[in-house]
Structure 1
Amino acid sequence: MMKLTRILAFCCAVAVAAPLTLSGGEAAAQQPKPLGTFSAWSAFTYQEDGGLVCYVVSEPIKDDGDYTRRGKIYTLVTHRPAKKTTGVVSVVAGYQYADGGEALVSIGSSNYKLFTVDDHAWAATAADDKSIVDAMKKGANMVIKGKSSRNTSTTDTYSLNGFTRAYEEISKACKVAG
């Protein structure tokens, strides 16, 4: 549990730091406010450019691959109602993906391809995000496979326990349909 807390604190810092822009010496985003931890998933909100951002985050329960070094690994689902985006699925792999590579997501019998840029992966469309989120709500585990720029294959397994409850919390906080 302590490892999860440290990882989630790091994830929060990354999630907030990534979209920061400085304007008049003030940061455009604020520190995340925790909404709660629901089994394997935690929910947070923060302000960004005058709008509320709500997200859930989790780390894998198992990560496999023949690597010597790997950064933090986590998956997020984010609402940014001010930007009219909801349920955006993103993965941080902890390494640079291979150029032109894909991350493959499996939830039960459903499979999805995510496009990759640097160490991140996303669904290509809002419809894909919705399909993945719907599968996450119904599934028990999610497996994400990727390949690094050094040709190392990885397989990360996430528990989906608590995902639905965490997602409901961020949907309520951001006033979007869950």
Structure 2
Amino acid sequence: MSFKPFALAPLFAAVIALPAFAQPSPTMLRQFGDWNVYSYQAGASKSCYVLTIPKQATPASVNHGDNFFLVAPKPSGSGYYPQAIMGYDLQNSSQITVTIDGKSFAMTPRGNSGWTQQESNDSAMIDAMRTGSNMTLQAVSGRGTRTSYTFSLSGVTAALNQAGQCN
């Protein structure tokens, strides 16, 4: 598995959490369809990411918590990476599967988050999101519950373009 900026997950989770001590508070800049663009100040630099919530969650009989899918800038400043943040811990030995218009991508869980298994797949997944119409995510909770989420991709291209202009 390639390096992923696991330490940044709490920063993105702050979108839904109460303001965290000593962490910047993200600010929503604009909404494009079902995607929002957020900015945050990290030291002297400003960064932006895009985020959406699922339109549908199954099974309906379980508490899913707050779930998000986001695309954030890589710490290197070169490109973006997709990330799933779930409202529960994921099963460590499992795999998250994201399907965009019939094309599947594997993500590796760690805690309540997941990243692509190979960093080289980040761009391919983001490109599929830009051209796709819907996206599903299948995961397994730490308790073994199989979950599925449907996300709209309406507005993701415009949101990513706006985030790319963040200074």
TM-score, normalisation: structure 2: 0.83
Quick one: distance in 2 between partners of 1:89 and 1:110? 15
Higher mean C-alpha displacement, 51-60 vs 67-76: 67-76
Quick one: distance in 1 between partners of 2:120 and 2:109? 18
CA contact (8 A) 1:113 1:123 kept: yes
Quick one: distance in 2 between partners of 1:31 and 1:124? 29
Q: 1:105 aligns with which of 82, 91, 98?
A: 98
Q: How does 1:44-55 map to 2 (within 5 A)?
A: 44-55=38-49
Structure 2: any 5+ residue segments left out of the alignment? 1-12
CA contact (8 A) 1:76 1:90 kept: yes
Query: Structure 1 residue 69: deviation in Å?
Result: 2.2
- C-alpha distance after superposition, 1:85-137 (max 9, x if no partner): 53111101222111221100000121100000011001133321101100000
CA contact (8 A) 1:35 1:169 kept: no
Bigger radius of gyration among the two: 1
- C-alpha distance after superposition, 1:24-78 (max 9, x if no partner): xxx2x43223220011000011112433221000000001126532210110100
Check 1:42–1:11 CA distance in 2 against 1; reply closer, same or farther (3 A cut): farther
Q: 1:12 aligns with which of 12, 15, 28?
A: 15
Give the paired residue count: 155
CA contact (8 A) 2:140 2:146 kept: yes
Secondary structure, aligned partner of 2:79: strand
Counterpart of 1:122, as a letter, is W
Check 1:152–1:67 CA distance in 2 against 1; reply closer, same or farther (3 A cut): farther
Quick one: distance in 2 between partners of 1:115 and 1:142? 17
- C-alpha distance after superposition, 1:118-170 (max 9, x if no partner): 11001133321101100000000000000111111011000000000000000
Counterpart position of 2:121:
128
Check 1:66–1:38 CA distance in 2 against 1; reply closer, same or farther (3 A cut): closer
Q: Percent same amino acid at aligned positions? A: 25
Q: 2:24 aligns with which of 20, 24, 30?
A: 30
TM-score, normalisation: structure 1: 0.78
Following TM superposition, where does structure 1 have runs of at least 4 consecutive aligned residues deviating by more than 4 angstroms?
none
Query: Structure 1 residue 11: deviation in Å?
Result: 5.7
Quick one: distance in 1 between partners of 2:140 and 2:32? 30
